Structure 1
Amino acid sequence: MSTTHPDATVAGHSADSAPPRLRSDAQANLGRILCSAREVFAAHGLDATLADVARHAGVGVGTVYRRFSSKDELIQALFDNHCAEIESVAAAAGDIANAWDGLLFFVETMAGRMADNRGFGDLLMDARFESDTFTRARSSIFGHTAVLVDRAKEQGSLRADFDVKDIPLLMQMIKAAQRFGGDEAPDAYRRLLGFVTDGLCSSRTGHCELPVPPLTEQQLDRVLHRYKSGPSC
Structure 2
Amino acid sequence: MNDTDTSGPESADAPLHRRGIKSYVLRAGRMTTAQTRGLEDVWPRLGLSLEDGRLDLDTLFGRRAPRVVEVGFGMGASLIEQAEAHPETDYIGIEVHAPGVGKLLDEADKRGLANLRVYREDALAVLEQCLPEASLDSVQLFFPDPWPKKKHHKRRIVQPAFVELVRTRLKPGGTLHMATDWEAYAEWMAEVMAEAPGYANTAEADSAPYVPRPDYRPLTKFEVRGERLGHGVWDLVHRRADD
TM-score class, shorter: under 0.3
Q: Which has the higher contact order (CA 8 A, sep 6+)?
A: 2
- In the superposition, the TM-score normalised over structure 2's length comes to 0.25
- In the superposition, the TM-score normalised over structure 1's length comes to 0.25
Larger radius of gyration, structure 1 or 2?
1
